[in-house]
Amino acid sequence: AQSVTQLDSQVPVFEEAPVELRCNYSSSVSVYLFWYVQYPNQGLQLLLKYLSGSTLVKGINGFEAEFNKSQTSFHLRKPSVHISDTAEYFCAVSHQGGKLIFGQGTELSVKP
Amino acid sequence: EAGVAQSPRYKIIEKRQSVAFWCNPISGHATLYWYQQILGQGPKLLIQFQNNGVVDDSQLPKDRFSAERLKGVDSTLKIQPAKLEDSAVYLCASSFRHGQSPLHFGNGTRLTVT
């Protein structure tokens, strides 16, 4: 069975600092990986996805993530965060064509 | 393109009452999903439709929850009777094709059961 673990429930960071949000997954088969962002009182919005090919995936708003098959990880990174990046971030995994399983979420709080 | 529309945005009911949520997906999206997001948790899939057929409802509490997608467009999710633990945000999402296509989410309906 698939599962997703987001290792940090909350990540406080100062503006313009780099940030990494960690995600590990468990699956015995090939997977698709996604990062979604949720701003307060809104639905989820896709940041980026990995389906195949290059392990470094670039998304919107300057975010990127690296697929590491040996470590079963898909960590999200941004070199310099803004106040507007404050939100909840969800990692998700699906077996090709299967159900999308979400992690518990990481609350990113960017302070001035 | 217009996004996924959901209504109402907020609903407060007493336990044992019934409630219904409505979702209109993005035009042309064949797959529609209902997720339940309890405070502090990630979304959990309740039911997935492909056109007007159910693909996955394995986590839908069928004794109290029901959903339909007549004509393969709009969808309604109903809870009857509601319990306190049903308090959550109910998110509707749609995708062009299940699997590789990203999910587009509505803003959700926040349900409070008192």
Q: Which of B38, B95, B98, B103 to mutate to test the interface with A (most CBs of A within 10 A)?
A: B103
Residue type, A69: K
Cβ-Cβ contacts under 8 Å for B70 (sequence gap 6 or more): B52
Domain coordinates in residue numbering, chain B: 5-113
CA distance A72 to B2: 36
| A97–B98 CB contact, under 8 Å | yes
pLDDT at A28: 67
Q: Domain B5-113 belongs to what topology? A: Immunoglobulin-like (2.60.40)
- Cβ atoms B23, B107 nearer than 8 A: no
pLDDT in tens, B62-83: 999 999 998 889 999 999 999 9
User: Where residue B1 falls among pLDDT bands split at 50, 70, 90?
Assistant: low
pLDDT in tens, A34-73: 999 999 888 899 999 998 888 999 999 999 999 998 999 9
pLDDT in tens, A77-108: 999 999 999 999 999 998 766 788 999 999 99
Residue in chain B nearest A47 by alpha carbon: B102
Q: Which domains does chain A have, with CATH numbers?
A: 3-111 (2.60.40.10)
CA distance B9 to B12: 11
Measuring CA to CA, which residue among B27, B25, B24, B46 is closest to residue B90? B46
pLDDT at B79: 98
What CA dihedral angle connects B37, B41, B46 and B49, to 10 degrees?
80
